[in-house]
Amino acid sequence: MSGKTVHRLAYDNENMDMSVANASTSIEHGYHPVEVASALTLAIGFVQLFIAILGLDFLTVYFSDQIVAGFTTGAAVHVFVTQLKDVTGIYGTPRRTGIGNAILRVYDIVVEIYRTNPTTILVSTIAITLLYIGKKLINPLVVAHSPIPIPFELLMVIFGALASWLLHLESEFMVRTVGDIPTGLPLPSLPRLSILPYLIKEAIPIAVVTIAVHISMAKLLAKQNNYSVDGKQELYALGFTSTISSFFPVYPSSCSLARTMVNASAGTRTQLFAVFSSVFIFVVLQFGGTFLGPLPMKFFANSRPRWHILVNIPGTGEYRDVERYQQVNFVENVCVVRFDAPLLFTNVEKFREMVDVITRNWESVICNSELETKENSLLDEEETTRLSKFLIIDCSAFVYIDMMGVNCLKETYTDLLKQGIRVMFAAPKGESEET
């Protein structure tokens, strides 16, 4: 999308009339692609910050696991299709945009298959095979004896560039390489603000797609590594990153599927890796451009539900909201809580936040009394001693539970059991109980 916008303003030689503020204005031609890209990056940053300031981060709760899986899979397919030209060495195919462009790109490659470069295919096959063997077969054995895996991707870049230089792959075998990389860092400069009015139409959908890809990948990794994602923080991070980076000759920033998965597979858990990668990139920009030049190219209400602590009303067998009564009975180390909404993908994060608040502030929400263990208790004496805390979830408000809700309950049960807290479910509805 960004490339299409840059191409439209920087390369289109036809006269273009665009409506800005209900006025028809002819765009002055002669913009450099870098100028358009920097201005577009600034516009996207403004849109992302505007979305964060308006508090629209709650929309991210509608990214269910199924949506995230579908979106990331679709994005991966597009990434795969865009790499086909580098793998086969077939360049010069028509530019494809719009619905079905991935299918059309594959069609173009198939039609031009006779132009395949055998050397490019060979280099690609060797690289893919070595990476697969290294990451799937060798690294698991290495990790069993060492906390540091072998960086096969980095080794592939180094030896790939060296082999390309020694074998003259570009000049002798027509293998496209990265080419000349200028050394040093460019000085920051103010983007051309005069271009901004012509970029808003493209900046809004690009910003939305960027947010969707970023949040989808963040939620995918959060689920794999058992942590939560703050949607508003992510929006501000994206907005400030795009705004600040627009002062340099860069494209709009987004989540890199390939780089993110490489970091995840390498065991990265925090952003500290960015310090080391930034230093490495700085060294490459300053001194390594000459060496990497020969490198081959292939190489809404329910989203904000309430919850309540329930306590026993003296003289009755009922449990009510603790905030509504003054005379109440507590049981030591037993917490009863009700989540006032169906447990759907739109509010599972809120449910996890509720559980997290209760576990982190257990002593403040539970009053002291004696725990009575009856003979017909679900726990035997040994287990009762080990599990000294009990969280009872009132499921009466769960009129419906989807797949993410079921998984959330399972994860909650397992995680709290490891912390010595036994989770029990009370008063489930008929359909919810069957689910």
DSSP 379-421: S-HHHHHH--EEEEEE-TT-S-B-HHHHHHHHHHHHHHHHTTE
**What is the 3-state composition of the chain as percent helix, strand, coil, each rounded to the nearest 5?**
55, 10, 35
Q: In the chain, what percentage of residues exceed pLDDT 70?
A: 73
pLDDT at site 46:
92
Does the pTM of the predicted model rise above 0.75? no
pLDDT at site 329:
76
What average pLDDT does the segment 370-375 reach? 35
Least confident of 115-124, 138-147, 198-207, 263-272: 263-272
With a cut of 80, say whether residue 384 has pLDDT above it.
Answer: no
pLDDT in tens, 316-336: 877 887 777 777 777 778 888
Classify burial at 168, counting beta carbons within 10 Å of its beta carbon; exposed 0-12, middle 13-18, buried 19 or more.
exposed
Cβ neighbours for 11, distance < 8 A, ≥ 6 positions apart = 33
Fold (CATH) for 302-434? Transcription Regulator spoIIAA (3.30.750)
Q: How many residues in total does the chain contain?
A: 435
With a cut of 50, say whether residue 137 has pLDDT above it.
Answer: yes
With a cut of 60, say whether residue 289 has pLDDT above it.
Answer: no
CA distance 373 to 382: 12
What average pLDDT does the segment 224-244 reach? 83
With a cut of 50, say whether residue 369 has pLDDT above it.
Answer: no
Q: Are 159 and 137 in contact (CB under 8 A)?
A: no
Selection from 388, 368, 384 nearest residue 376 by Cα: 384
Higher pLDDT, 33 or 365: 33
If you average pLDDT over every residue of the chain, what do you get?
75
CA distance 358 to 336: 10
What average pLDDT does the segment 135-155 reach? 82
Please state the separation of Cα 419 from the chain's center in Å.
28
What average pLDDT does the segment 333-356 reach? 82
pLDDT at site 14:
37
With a cut of 80, say whether residue 121 has pLDDT above it.
Answer: yes
Task: Please work out, in degrees rounded to the nearest 5, the angle formed at the alpha carbon of residue 100 by the alpha carbons of 208 and 252.
Answer: 30
Higher pLDDT, 165 or 329: 165
> What pLDDT band is residue 21 in, cutting at 50, 70 and 90?
very low
Bridge pairing between strands 319-321 and 334-339 = unpaired
Q: Are 153 and 213 in contact (CB under 8 A)?
A: no
CA distance 276 to 282: 10
With a cut of 80, say whether residue 64 has pLDDT above it.
Answer: no
Q: Are 188 and 247 in contact (CB under 8 A)?
A: yes
pLDDT at site 265:
61
pLDDT at site 152:
84
> What pLDDT band is residue 35 in, cutting at 50, 70 and 90?
confident
With a cut of 50, say whether residue 68 has pLDDT above it.
Answer: yes
What average pLDDT does the segment 290-296 reach? 58
CA distance 175 to 237: 38
With a cut of 60, say whether residue 33 has pLDDT above it.
Answer: yes
Selection from 303, 301, 310, 311 nearest residue 338 by Cα: 310
Least confident of 26-30, 253-257, 430-434: 26-30
What average pLDDT does the segment 351-373 reach? 66
Bridge pairing between strands 334-339 and 389-394 = parallel
CA of 413: how far to CAs of 119, 182, 350, in Å?
Answer: 55, 55, 16
The SS3 assignment for 18 reads: strand
Q: Are 210 and 40 in contact (CB under 8 A)?
A: no
pLDDT at site 111:
92
Phi, psi of 297, rounded to the nearest 5 degrees:
-70, -25
Portions of the chain given CATH number 3.30.750.24: 302-434
What average pLDDT does the segment 259-276 reach? 67
Q: Are 301 and 158 in contact (CB under 8 A)?
A: no
15: amino acid identity, one letter: N
pLDDT in tens, 167-222: 888 888 888 877 766 666 778 888 888 888 888 888 888 888 788 778 777 777 77
With a cut of 60, say whether residue 371 has pLDDT above it.
Answer: no
Q: Are 20 and 194 in contact (CB under 8 A)?
A: no
Bridge pairing between strands 334-339 and 421-426 = unpaired
First to last CA, the chain: 42
pLDDT at site 192:
85
With a cut of 70, say whether residue 103 has pLDDT above it.
Answer: yes
CA distance 310 to 330: 9
What average pLDDT does the segment 221-246 reach? 83
With a cut of 70, say whether residue 397 has pLDDT above it.
Answer: yes
Cβ density class 398-423: b for 16+ within 10 Å, e for less: beebbebbeebbeebbebbeeeebbb
With a cut of 60, say whether residue 41 has pLDDT above it.
Answer: yes
